[in-house]
A and B are shown apart, each in its own frame.
Chain A
Amino acid sequence: MAKLPEAESLLPKLAAELKARITPATAMIGLHTGGAWVAERLHAVLGLKDPLGLMDIAFYRDDYAKEGLKHDPKRTRIPFEVEGKDLLLVDDVLYTGRTVRAAMNELFDYGRPSSIALVVLADRGGRQLPIAAQYCGAQVDVPEGMRLRLKRAADGKLALELERVG
């Protein structure tokens, strides 16, 4: 099994790629919980005009009928007008694509952005919907029966980890 990439090394790589495409209309939204951590780190170094937006997709998931309302939804806070923005949607791990689908649906209930680009720390493949990341830290192979998670240590350091499903 290949070693997992270091989350902390991927962040400056992503930041450099993103810095190249920032415009006055660029704004960033991080998806709770892991995407929010990544977005906080990126937003701090990119010098964007608008403050960081944070989003919880709990109310837009497609599995409500089966699973009900899971866990405590966090509050979505988008402290800027979505209308006309070039949005950077940030998540930690891209897998089936359903989370991003829900996030886009929710975003459009806030307004009509000019464009949305997806920024992920890790892409593990396994897409079930036609979703792709425009900016990706690393591709990661995840063995059967495992899950790829981002963890944040007490000192704020981020790390990718594998854990068993179930």
Chain B
Amino acid sequence: MSANPQLNANGELQHLLSIEGLPPEILSQILDTAESFAGVTEREVKKVPLLRGKSVFNLFFEASTRTRTTFEIAAKRLSADVINLNVAVSSQSKGESLLDTVANLSAMQADVFVVRHGSSGAPYLIARHVKAHEHVVNAGDGRHAHPTQGLLDLYTIRYYKKDFTQLTVAIVGDVLHSRVARSLIHGLTTLGVPAVRVIGPQTLLPAGVESLGVRVFHDMRAGLKDCDVVVMLRLQNERMNGTLLPSAQEFFKHYGLTADKLALARPDAIVMHPGPMNRGVEIDSSVADGPHSVILPQVTFGIAVRMAVMSIVAGN
């Protein structure tokens, strides 16, 4: 079809829509830049003037306080002006199409659109229609991608484990509905992680998931053996209504991360979770708060990663 919609004619990142399709050099560039930003958050003046005068529009068609807040903090630390638009689904049903909404905002001199939408592919549609100087950052589209989450997960793994090419990484839970999982899988395979595993019941794994480059385990104990990184996915309440899973209890028994299951992984394994956690459903409190957990650092890294993404795209 067409050329990679994320890269400009010089092969530079102009939109961040998905980790899939990005060469490893660009992923590394983002991670390295994020590392530089990590220092900014530790000093007195937590700002750099890089995006001064630029406007970042948070266009959230799906409600989310956490992600929106981290993007807002990141943009402000770059000295950008931030405008939050929580476009509730109902205003869409009043007749204004997605593209009309974007066109109206375009007229208000936006530089970066951070978009979260319930339909997979929505950011691609937006990116096809924005002006040359406008940039789209995907904050999550349907079940397709959440690239900044994938990047901060990669950053976290790199921070604690250094070398991607020696790792065994397990992703546990509802992969079927998870954009976080898809983004992370693409990132891990692109950066050369030799063993990526997905662990879950068959009802929560998408068709042909092996084609993404992963090995499927239905038995969590077998899947966790000798893992360096364990990523727990959030199980949404809607999934526990009986057609995909019978109950949270049964899920926790077989797929919840407890200390004894974690003991099967490497002794220095790290435990990650994109948040927010359902304690007692996918993860036991003792593990979430335990020495292997890097869940809180993930959040901090998330700000630096988003600063890196916005400053790279906005300059191209």
Contacts and interface: CB of A to CB of B under 8 A. Distances in A.
Q: Do chains A and B touch in the complex (CB under 8 A)?
A: yes
A145 interface: no
A49 interface: no
B47 interface: yes
A82 to B, nearest CB: 8
Interface string B40-68: 10011101111000000000000000000
Nearest to B12: A68
Size range of the interface on A?
Answer: 20 to 34
B73 to A, nearest CB: 16
A19 B221 CA distance: 64
B36 A74 contact: yes
Given A72-B33, A73-B36, A109 B312 contact: no
B138 interface: no
A58 B35 CA distance: 13
Interface residues of B, number: 22
Nearest to B310: A69
Interface stretch (A37-45, A59-67, A86-94, A131-139): A59-67
Interface in B241-293: none
Contacts of A69: 33, 50, 311-312, 315
Given A69-B33, A75-B38, A76-B36, A109 B315 contact: no
A94 B302 CA distance: 37
Interface string B18-47: 000000000001001101111110011101
B311 to A, nearest CB: 5
A76 B50 contact: no
Interface of A: 56, 58-60, 64-65, 67-69, 72-78, 105-106, 109-111
15 contacts: A56-B36, A59-B49, A59-B50, A68-B312, A68-B316, A72-B36, A73-B33, A73-B36, A74-B36, A75-B36, A76-B36, A76-B39, A76-B40, A110-B43, A111-B44
